[in-house]
Amino acid sequence: MKSAQRASQKVRDKYLPKVRALSLLHAFCDVNRASPESQGVESTRISSFYRAALCCSFASAEILRDPARADLIGVIGEISSDRVLSSLYNRMRLSEQGRFLLLEKTRVTNATLIHARSCSTGTFGEAYAHFMDTRAFRPEDRPETKFSVQKPWHYVLVRLREIHDYLHVLFDCPTNIEGEVILKAIEFANFKLPVSCLGALVGSVQLPVVVQHRLHDHFFPWATRAGLKCEPLESIHFESSFNAPLQEVRKLHGIITLPK
């Protein structure tokens, strides 16, 4: 046990400076992409981005010291991922289901779970309801976003958070730390959100060294292939497939399950 803790500490020591540096570099690059018309407010922008960079840096450091701080992962995601969220927003607009989601602002609520419980055996809805009920999960227990409410892609971030449990069912990922790390890697391959990569890193350093090797040698490569192979997940109206057989839903969207 002590050797595993020492190994995990070495990983933290290795990646902590990189996380801080990447946060600052992200802000620096954003500042230097300023258009000529915006040079008059450059000092204000630098101050704003510098504060965001510091926030990400210190939050990242705290997460690596205390991986239980899931709230800080949410903070980093909302502060540092605007460009990716904007890209995902545009990707949704190219899809018929994505446009419907953006128009209707479909939410995953406790009413969604109640509907899923009425679905027949073997359907995606029934599998989702079983997944939630056996773990005493409720959709509305997930925290609300706080930082992106004024931006057009705010709903994208909401949708990504709320379909997380759908993805557990569809990719057949368990809810232990290893399963969460693998699902974060799938999400990173599909969404390209930096916070998904950070979540995978934070989760993996909590695991024994032998499990970390298994992740890097086998499951991370598989997760990358799985995330790239399937359709854009943020653009799928999963709720319309609740009454379809689970296997058909997977096949329809190019989703492959976690190898056992």
* pLDDT for 40: 45
Domain-located, residue 122: yes
Q: State the residue range of the domain holding 61.
A: 1-66
Domain-located, residue 146: yes
Residues of the chain whose pLDDT is less than 50?
4, 11, 15-73
Domain-located, residue 5: yes
Same domain flag for 24 and 99: no
Domain-located, residue 156: yes
* pLDDT for 236: 98
Q: Which of 66, 85, 107 is the last residue of a domain?
A: 66
Same domain flag for 49 and 85: no
How many domains are contained in the chain? Answer: 2
Same domain flag for 155 and 55: no
Domain-located, residue 158: yes
* pLDDT for 82: 74
Same domain flag for 171 and 61: no
Global pTM reads: 0.72
Number of Cβ within 10 Å of residue 157's Cβ equals 26
Q: Express each pLDDT in 123-177 by its tens digit.
A: 999 999 999 999 999 998 877 765 555 577 889 988 998 999 999 999 999 999 9
Same domain flag for 132 and 231: yes
Q: CB neighbours of 227 closer than 8 A, spacing ≥ 6?
A: 185, 186, 187, 188, 189, 190
Same domain flag for 137 and 165: yes
Same domain flag for 9 and 133: no
* pLDDT for 10: 56
Same domain flag for 141 and 97: yes
Q: Which of 14, 43, 66 is the last residue of a domain?
A: 66
* pLDDT for 217: 94
* pLDDT for 61: 47
Q: Contact at 8 Å (CB) between 109 and 140?
A: yes
Quick one: which of 124, 94, 112 has its CA closest to 232? 94
Same domain flag for 122 and 239: yes
Same domain flag for 18 and 142: no
Domain-located, residue 259: no
Same domain flag for 55 and 125: no
**Cross-strand bridge partners of residue 245:** 123
Per this entry, what is the length of the chain?
Answer: 260
Same domain flag for 50 and 101: no
Domain-located, residue 71: no
Domain-located, residue 258: no
* pLDDT for 78: 52
* pLDDT for 117: 98
Q: What is the DSSP string of 49-81?
A: HHHHHHHHHHHHHHHHH-TT-HHHHHHHHHHH-
Quick one: which of 144, 148, 123, 157 has its CA closest to 234? 157
